[in-house]
Amino acid sequence: MQKQLVRLQKILSSQGAASRREAEKMILEGRVLVNGVPAKLGQSAEFGSDHITLDGVELAAVSEHVYIMLNKPCGYITTVRDDRGRRTVMDLIADAGTKVYPVGRLDMNTEGLLLFTNDGEFANTVAHPSHDVKKTYEAKVIGDVQKAVGSLRQPIEIDNCTVEAVKVELHKETINGGVLRITVIEGRNRQVRKMCAACGVKIIALKRISIGALRLGKLKTGQWRHLSVEEVQALG
């Protein structure tokens, strides 16, 4: 019978080891072996037939999918582990009792809604811009917010790419700035911060308040909870 070959990063993701992006990094770092040989990026294998290990531990099948939302505080980086010893979001869900990984990223100084799962297809659906899952951020800024709102509603070039917000609202105006609510789909690295900077305002606090229909609600900073079946279905 012919092998059913699948890209390694997809296997690692579907079995709850890491997101596809994180899986690519693991492969490049030499942490993944296939039949005792260091894997190469782009390599395919057959889960259940080929012997796949991560950090010397055999990759096991996921018995149950888990979905978690965290209200991330500032000061934590969004990665499974950090070679520099910095605090990661995994420290905040250490008591979850199961192995999951973050869906997408929030930078160290951004707070708010961050999802975790061991379901690779769910993670890809939520994170990849082709699925049009909207992410809304609340940005406290200083500068001319009235002018910035108009500019933010137009296509903006950052990092040699043109990006565009789905929606921009002036939630509150203050003496030296205000609070903006910015909805995007792309989710590029520090996208909202770079968009605001390009439009003449400086972010002094940034928080993601929603992903799709999912809202932070009353979840306190640093706390996490499991998603309901209905919430998972609404996102997936």
Same domain (yes/no): 122, 140: no
Question: Residue 186: its pLDDT value, please?
Answer: 84
CA distance 7 to 40: 10
Average pLDDT, stretch 62-75? 92
Cα 15 from chain centre: 18
**Which is more confident, 62 or 149?**
149
Residue 4 in this model has a pLDDT that exceeds 80: no
Can you give the residue range of the structural domain that contains 117? 67-130+214-235
**For residue 45, what is the domain's CATH number?**
3.10.290.10
User: CA–CA separation, 192 vs 195, rounded Å?
Assistant: 5
pLDDT digit string, tens, across residues 100-122:
989 988 999 999 999 999 988 88
Q: Looking at the structure, do residues 145 and 180 belong to the same domain, yes or no? A: yes
Task: Please name the residue ranges forming H helices in 63-205.
Answer: 120-127, 145-152, 191-198
Report pLDDT for 2: 57
Cβ pair 196, 203 in contact under 8 A: yes
Does residue 36 belong to any structural domain of this protein?
Answer: yes
Shared domain check, 144 and 39: no
Domain identity same for 140 and 192? yes
Residue 9 has pLDDT above 90, yes or no: no
CATH number at residue 124: 3.30.70.580
The span from the CA of 222 to the CA of 163, in Å, is: 31
Q: How confident is the model at residue 189 (pLDDT cuts 50, 70, 90)?
A: confident
Rounded Cα–Cα distance for residues 30 and 27 (Å): 5
Residues 76 and 125 in one domain: yes
| Residue 222 domain-assigned (yes or no) | yes
Enter the DSSP assignment of 108.
T
Q: Are residues 186 and 78 in the same domain?
A: no
Spatial separation of the C-alpha atoms in residues 68 and 114, rounded to whole Å:
8
Query: What local confidence, expressed as pLDDT, does residue 1 receive?
Result: 53
User: Do 169 and 71 share a domain, yes or no?
Assistant: no
Q: What pLDDT was estimated at residue 69? A: 97
| Calculated CA dihedral for residues 217, 221, 226, 231, nearest 10 degrees | 30
Given pLDDT bands bounded at 50, 70 and 90, which one contains residue 5? confident
Residues with catalytic roles: 107
Given the structure tokens 């979850």, which residue do they identify?
96
- Same-domain status, 53 and 31: yes
> Whole-angstrom Cα distance, residue 143 to residue 82?
35
Question: What's the mean pLDDT in 85-101?
Answer: 91
- The domain that holds 166 is classified in CATH as 3.30.70.1560
Shared-domain flag, residues 95 and 138: no
Q: Give residue-wise pLDDT tens across range 26-59.
A: 899 899 999 999 999 888 888 888 889 888 888 8
Mean pLDDT of 78-83: 86
Asked whether 62 and 99 are in contact (CB, 8 A), the reply is: no
pLDDT for 230 equals: 95
Q: Is residue 163 included in any domain, yes or no? A: yes
Average pLDDT of span 19-30: 85
Question: Same domain, yes or no, for 199 and 218?
Answer: no
Establish if 1 belongs to a structural domain: no
Number of domains in the chain: 3
Q: Report helix, strand or coil for 10.
A: helix
On whether residue 16 sits in a domain, the answer given is yes
d(C-alpha 31, C-alpha 11), whole Å:
14
pLDDT tens profile 212-225 = 999 998 999 999 99
Residue 90 inside a domain? The answer is yes
Q: Answer whether residue 22 is part of any domain.
A: yes
Q: Are residues 206 and 148 in the same domain?
A: yes
In terms of pTM, does the model score above 0.85?
A: no
The answer to whether residues 28 and 126 belong to one domain is: no
Mean pLDDT of 57-66: 82
